[in-house]
Structure 1
Amino acid sequence: MLSACATSPTPADTPVARTVSIKAAMAEANAAALSGHPDKAYALLKQASATYPADKAPWVRMAQMRFDSNNYGEAIVNALEALHRDPDDTLANSVVAVSGLRLSSKALADLTRKNNLSGTVRTEAQDLARLLRNSLGEEILVPAVRPAPRVVPVKPKASTATTATATTAAATNAKPSGDPFSALK
């Protein structure tokens, strides 16, 4: 009687791990999102990103979902994961840029409201810049970008007669050797 408990389960009793293609996983996640289950869709995308770690598609879709739900911090994190896999992905770059701007705008609005900044636009911007400098402990908020110095090649000024004479003299004084570049030294 005790031996019945010690037997291993039959193959029909064990769950079979199914391997789903990335395309099928994305379709399943999109269907869940369209049916009003964004948490289920996000979980499916998270699972697809673990199953296919080199594929950017689940990360881009998760970033888009978080962006659409105004969760900009997570949208940036997911978009950066997509950019780690494909640095040229336009949608992921856009999500990072716009999410960052929206987070910055919200933070600036909160600072303005918290510190009762009001007045002309210029005065308010100056007060806000001063507040940001004090908060960050920085003298300059945005360092000036200096253009790279322009290098202009300088040609030595020598007359053609002087150059010809120097070349002839070097050829005359040169001793034959096994080094074909000895005349250039």
Structure 2
Amino acid sequence: MTFQRLMPSLVCVAMLSACAATGPAAGGAKPASTMAAAMADVDAAVLAGQTDKAYALLKSAGGTFPTDKTPWVRMAQMRFDSTDYGEAIVNALEALERDPDDTLANSIVAVSGLRVTSKALADLSQKNNLSGNVRTEAQALAKLLRSSLGEEVLVANATRPAAARPKDAPGRRMIATPPARPASNDPFGALK
């Protein structure tokens, strides 16, 4: 009978000891007390070439300061620079949850999405699978982008002259595959 009385107390003690073991002291590193301190730690990791550590610090800062967009914008920029456009979009959307008017986060979402889309369209074109509704939607999207940007060509292909580029209809150019470029801090660089 006494064991049944002690059982809830033992369970409580076990849970409390488990919680104590997973606190900040268990990880060895104490979370930064301010966003500025966290960003200083991130900058030091980036300067040391430890991008994985910098990303982990940013992730931790995002948890420690849940309403601040700063770590999410930095994570989005890091992923964009390393051409991981899917993660860049996810992180930029997290930043936009905190500040819908953040220009850099909106730019990263837009350009990352365009780069993913242009790669997918190029892959489909190479396999001759770009037809029907997909082709029509791609053409409509390209037309909308050209008119929004005020450009005749969305992404110039530097390897072929303009006259040699294929055309999908009289007077209308197809979206060219972007040439391989080094990572850039300017998400709109490919559209210039």
TM-score by length of 2: 0.54
Code of the residue aligned with 1:83 in structure 2: it is L
Amino acid at match of 2:134: L
Output one character per residue of 1:6-59: Cα deviation in whole Å (capped at 9) or x when no partner.
Answer: xxxxxxxx9495552111101111211121111000000000000000000000
Counterpart residue number, 1:9: none
Q: Distance in 2 between matches of 1:85 and 1:22?
A: 15
The CA distance in 2 between the partners of 1:97 and 1:133, in whole Å, is: 21
Deviation of 1:62 (Å):
0.1
Aligned length, in residue pairs: 116
Alpha-carbon distance in 1 for matches of 2:31, 2:67: 19
The residue type paired with residue 115 of structure 1 is N
Q: Aligned in 2, Cα 1:103/1:86: closer, same or farther, shift over 3 Å?
A: same
1:80 aligns with 2:121: no
Whole-Å separation in 2 of the counterparts to 1:61 and 1:87 = 16
Q: Could you state the TM-score of these two structures normalised by the residue count of structure 1?
A: 0.56
TM-superposed deviation, 1:132: 1.4
Identity of aligned residues (%): 65
Q: Superposition RMSD on alpha carbons, in Å?
A: 2.9
Closer, same or farther: CA 94–26 of 1 in aligned 2, 3 Å: same
Structure number with higher relative contact order (C-alpha < 8 Å, ≥ 6 residues apart): 2
How many Å apart are 1:114 and its aligned residue?
Answer: 1.9
Aligned residue among 33, 47, 64 for 1:34? 47
Counterparts in 2 of 1:87 and 1:36: CA distance versus 1, 3 Å:
same
Deviations 1:132-160 (A, max 9, x none): 169xxx9x976xx9xxxxxxxxxxxxxxx
| Structure-2 separation of matches of 1:19 and 1:93 | 27
Query: Where does 1:123-138 land on structure 2 (aligned, <5 Å)?
Result: 128-130=130-132, 132=134
2:123 pairs with 110, 135, 138, which one?
110
Whose Rg is larger? 1
